[in-house]
Structure 1
Amino acid sequence: MEAGTETRTAYLAVYDTFADWETGHTTAHLARNGFTVRTVGPTTDPVTTMAGLRIQPDLALTDLRPEGADLLILTGADLWDSGDELAPFARTARVFLDAGVPVAAICGATAGLAREGLLDERAHTSAVPRYLAATGYRGSAHYRDADAVTDGDLITAGPTEPVAFAREVFGRLGVYEGKRLDAWYRLYQRSDVSAYDVLQGSS
């Protein structure tokens, strides 16, 4: 993002059993490119990630609105598959999508969106097809065997694809584009040193 442009805001959903590794590339590079990243929890009480790290949410889910937001990120967590505790986050994703605000979901969060019916008519991916099929959703015809998928304002990825997930987010938001987006992916996914010069603008 060029100097002088208005700050954009990405909201990162955080909750107990949050999968630490899945959104690090995304949030770090958004922050380095002019975005403010704010965390939103079930409440403002601290949550504990899979790694045992404690995160103090910036705001509670009930206070989150799509107005003024540029992205909602939903990461994986054991809680997506152990009950309905995180269902309010999937319902909030519907509100964001209805408002035309992008939503990016990875790993278990894709199952939450499936249960909410948000994948029934949109191209998407996840860990494996049978993982989503177990939710009883009706969108199996739209499943794509890909590292990450963007369909309009919805981005999805499986748990082993945090770099591809970030690539799709950056492309959707215009953080990196064209050759620079490809170079970013090649550098962080494949350790392709030739991509470094492209990112630095010297190639």
Structure 2
Amino acid sequence: MFTIYVYVLDTLADWELGHVTAELNSGRFFRAGAPRVSLKTVGASGEPVRTMGGLTIVPDCRVGDVAVSETSVLLLPGANTWNDPRHGAVLEKAGELLRAGAAVCAICGATAALAGLGLLDGRAHTSNGAGFLEMVSPGYQGQRFYRDEPSVADGNLITAGSTGALLWAKQIIGRLGVFEAGTLEAWYDYFRTGEAGHFFTLMGTLPPEHGN
């Protein structure tokens, strides 16, 4: 079973998590025999946080509860508050998880937080455009590993810019192997283009009992 830990913090960018959390939590397009997935929100404390969209989230657990295991997945969303020292604990946990072979998936401002700890210095990654990480993360030394793409997967590290959430979700789902390959491609094509043909292709990849 995979445990998906979603770090929540004030000013969390709501749109960046929508695709990946909805699909992993609902399992609506999972392949037969896919591993089970448990999704938990994680906070620096047990106090509620307020997202950029004005939603209140009460964390399910705290950073110390995150298991360092290859079956753990840490999702780090963008936010305007990553420079708050209280988030140091989850960034340290991210380093532990990467070293343990667990997936760490960061988008937008969270990539800058990882860059500030040097966690992007030796691995392919992306963010909010060339020059962004130098601007906001003093000490960043990963320029030669930067890729100007919406989302980049390098082993167990998956990073994205603020407009790369859909591809980021695809790469995370693909790493976990919970969709059939054809399902994942059709899902991505449908949400990327909005073309109805991709929706029918997507539904055609699912077993007949899926619609019952």
TM-score (norm 2): 0.87
Q: 1:133 to 1:78 in 2, by over 3 A?
A: same
Displacement of 1:85 after TM fit?
A: 3.4
Where 2:204 maps in the other structure, the secondary structure is: coil
1:15 maps to amino acid: L
Aligned-residue offset at 1:202: 5.2
Q: Is 2:8 the partner of 1:8? A: no
Percent identity between matched residues is 43
Q: Deviations over 1:95-133 (max 9, x none)?
A: 111111101100000001101111001000011121111
**2:10 is equivalent to residue 19 of structure 1:** no
Distance, in Å, in 1 between the alignment partners of 2:26 and 2:187 is: 14
Distance in structure 2 (CA, Å) of the matches to 1:154 and 1:147? 14
Does 29-38 or 114-123 show the bigger shift? 29-38
34, 38, 41: which one aligns with 1:39: 41
Is 2:178 the counterpart of 1:201?
A: no
Match of 1:145 among 141, 145, 148: 148
CA distance in 1, matches of 2:62, 2:205: 43
Task: Show the 5 A alignment for 1:187-198.
Answer: 187-198=190-201
After TM superposition, the structure 1 = structure 2 runs for residues 1-203 of structure 1, keeping only pairs within 5 Å, are 7-33=1-27, 34-67=36-69, 69-80=71-82, 82-134=83-135, 135=137, 136-201=139-204
Per-residue deviation, 1:87: 2.6
5+ residue gaps, structure 1 = 1-6
Residues 38, 202 of structure 1: alpha-carbon distance in 2 compared, 3 angstrom cutoff = closer
- Matching residue's letter, 1:31: N
SS in 2 for 1:113: helix
Distance 2:202 2:72 in 1: 24
Query: Does structure 1 retain, via aligned residues, the 8 Å contact 2:16–2:107?
Result: yes
**How far off is 1:193 after superposition?**
1.6
Contact 1:79 1:85 in 2 (8 A): no
Listed one character per residue, the Cα deviations across residues 25-68 of structure 1 (whole Å, up to 9, x for unaligned) are 00000012242210000011111111121101000112222237
| Alpha-carbon offset, residue 84 of structure 1 | 3.1
Corresponding letter in the other structure for 1:195: H
What TM-score does the superposition give when structure 1 sets the normalisation length?
0.90
Uncovered stretches (5+) of structure 2, i.e. residues with no partner: 28-35, 207-212
Q: Distance in 1 between matches of 2:190 and 2:68?
A: 33
Query: Which one-letter code corresponds to 1:121 in the other structure?
Result: G
- Is residue 9–residue 68 contact of structure 1 (8 Å, CA) maintained in 2? no
Q: How far has the Cα of 1:8 moved from its partner?
A: 2.6
SS at match of 1:78: coil
Distance 1:161-1:44 versus aligned 2 partners, 3 A rule? same
Please, which moves more after superposition, 149-158 or 54-63?
54-63
How far apart are 1:177 and its partner, in Å? Answer: 4.4
2:131 aligned counterpart, secondary structure: helix
CA RMSD of the aligned region, Å?
1.7
Q: Distance in 2 between matches of 1:68 and 1:182?
A: 25
Worse-superposed segment, 176-185 or 188-197: 176-185
